[in-house]
Amino acid sequence: MRVFIIQKNEAGQRFDKYLKKRFAHAPSGFLYKMMRKKNIVLNGRRADGTEQLAAGDEVKVFFSEETFQKFAGLEQASGEYLALRELNVKLTVLYEDEDTIIINKPSGMLSQKAKPDDLSANEYILAYLIQKGILTAQMMETFRPSVCNRLDRNTSGILIAGKTLKGLQQMSAALKERTVQKYYRCLVEGEVQVPMYLKGWLKKDEKENRVTVYEDEKAAGVGALPIETEYTPLKSSGGYTYLEVHLITGRSHQIRAHLAYIGHPIMGDAKYNSRRHTMHTGLKPNQTSGRESGLKRLPVHSQLLHAYRLEWAGQRTVTAPLPKEFERALQITGCTVSR
């Protein structure tokens, strides 16, 4: 028999979800059968898996040692923990409390794994928490801290993660319900003179990992999602504009595609650069200065798009400093603004 006491970062989830994490290699049907036969009990009573767990709840598991080892996958969890403990962590932490951590993700770093052997921001956050003694191997058996928002690989800036289940749930809900506002900074081709509020429809080609913006839902067709984006020019100079973007709906590649749609592609964005991107609406693009593409003109290695600021109404603001490459591009184009 094994006894487990539900910890704070495990509370707030359904019992069956907890069991599927605890026994990751066990079939779901087996776990429900074990609950029916009272080989798994919650607080001394039979459970059906729908119960909401609270800190201090007691779970008893009446498995043989062989069955426990077979389904728990402890060796894999232990190996991952040891590897992360030795990882060289270089994170810029912008904000941290008991439940949440916010970092300044550099361009070039994945938010989450794309392949099993990838090292993403998520792994670096896990390693950071392990090395600070906040996350233990035992805790990782049933809960893994995780990022709440995603940034494209070559987009830098604010990335939020839940250190506990409570933090993960609260921040995910805040992002979904838009009680937290997200602001980005970018450098684009062409001069934007006035603020803009744009609505449209976005459709993603999963195979090509590319999105297309349309003016209306009918033209977009099945599977398109509504998008809203707000832009405020901070400074224009010599055919370039430094923009602040309020991301109202957070769709895949939304800012990049929406700016290309109106003829102001982001500097360094090869995928949605106006020289390579075909417009799919009747909207006439704004004219640029006639200079060479910014991708060729400036030493830019990734798109100059940066998740700059988060605002919670009446609570707090978190700001991520711009990368050096972004600052250099602003100076070269004459788009630097006073802080």
Amino acid letter, 115:
K
Rounded to whole angstroms, how far apart are CA atoms 98 and 288?
A: 48
Helix (H) or strand (E) holding 23: none
pLDDT by 10s per residue, the chain, length 339: 899 999 887 888 999 999 998 898 899 999 999 999 999 999 999 999 999 999 999 999 999 988 888 888 665 666 677 888 888 888 999 999 999 999 999 999 999 988 888 889 999 999 999 999 998 887 887 888 999 998 999 999 999 999 988 899 899 999 888 889 999 999 998 999 999 998 989 998 888 888 888 888 888 888 899 999 999 999 999 889 999 999 999 888 999 999 998 889 998 888 887 543 322 222 333 434 444 444 445 557 788 999 999 998 767 899 999 999 999 889 888 899 876
Residues 239-266 pLDDT 10s = 899 999 999 998 889 999 999 988 899 9
CATH class of 2-72: alpha beta
Same fold, 75-177 and 183-333: yes
Task: Dig out the tokens for 223 from the structure.
Answer: 């599977």
Q: Is 8 exposed, middle or buried (0-12, 13-18, 19+ CB in 10 A)?
A: middle
> Of 202, 222, 221, whose CA–CA distance to 212 is shortest?
202
The CATH H-level superfamily of 183-333 is Pseudouridine synthase (3.30.2350.10)
Rounded to whole angstroms, how far apart are CA atoms 21 and 18?
A: 5
Q: What is the pTM of this model?
A: 0.78
Please state the domain extents for the chain. Answer: 2-72, 75-177, 183-333
The CATH H-level superfamily of 75-177 is Pseudouridine synthase (3.30.2350.10)
Residues 97-122 pLDDT 10s = 999 999 999 999 999 988 888 889 99
